[in-house]
Structure 1
Amino acid sequence: MGTQERLDPQAGVGTRVREPWVTVVWNDPVNLMSYVTRVFQEYFGLARHEAEARMREVHEKGRSVLSSGSREQMEIHVQAMHGYGLWATLERSDG
């Protein structure tokens, strides 16, 4: 995950903080599982077995987190998924 420097006003020193943003791809009734797998391989550079595992997670659990990092990076990934016709959102991560 990315980090950024932030001033802690109480301590008066810069601290490194995780940027807790993720790209979530959601299940939809339109796209074929083989297409979703191919998108994950092409866009995120996942190996076939990993792309298939993420696709199954989307299909069976309704969603899968595909990437994490800065808000700006995740916005780019979400827009890319929309370009492929997939339903994706940006969320803050819990961890």
Structure 2
Amino acid sequence: MLTPETVEGTGAETTPAHDIPYVLIVWNDPVNLMSYVSWVFRSYFGYSKDKADDLMMEVHTLGRSVVSTGSLEKVEADVAAMHRYGLWATFKRADEA
């Protein structure tokens, strides 16, 4: 039986709800240049040029990309940072993404 504090896992065990990470999603927008988005990913997250370019291309071609994962507090800070850079960003629990 599941309690409000747990969610079903992939196996027989359950995972406490507070242990599920959150994901930062960056959305495509009509304003920012692709080179700028890649630069933001390199500057803020410290990604390599190749990794940043791959994520930027996901944003551009798929309309969104999961750019970081972590605790609620970390991902909330990442979303705020993306907003300061002028990017459209949201977050949600990883099991809902």
TM interval, shorter chain, is 0.7 to 0.9
More strand by share: 1
Distance 1:55 1:74 in 2: 18
Aligned residues: 83
Q: Give the AA of the match of 1:19.
A: I
Match in the other structure for 2:9 = none
Distance 1:36 1:79 in 2: 15
In the TM superposition, residue 24 of structure 1 has moved relative to its aligned partner by 0.6
Structure 1 runs (4+) deviating above 6 angstroms are: none
Match in the other structure for 2:57 = 56
Gaps of 5+ in 2: 7-13
Match in the other structure for 2:36 = 35
Q: What's the TM-score once normalised by structure 2's chain length? A: 0.78
Distance 2:25 2:15 in 1: 25
Give CA deviations for 1:36-89 in whole Å, capped at 9, x if unaligned. 000000001000011000000000000011111110110000000000000000
Distance 1:19 1:80 in 2: 22
Identity %: 55
Match in the other structure for 1:21 = 22
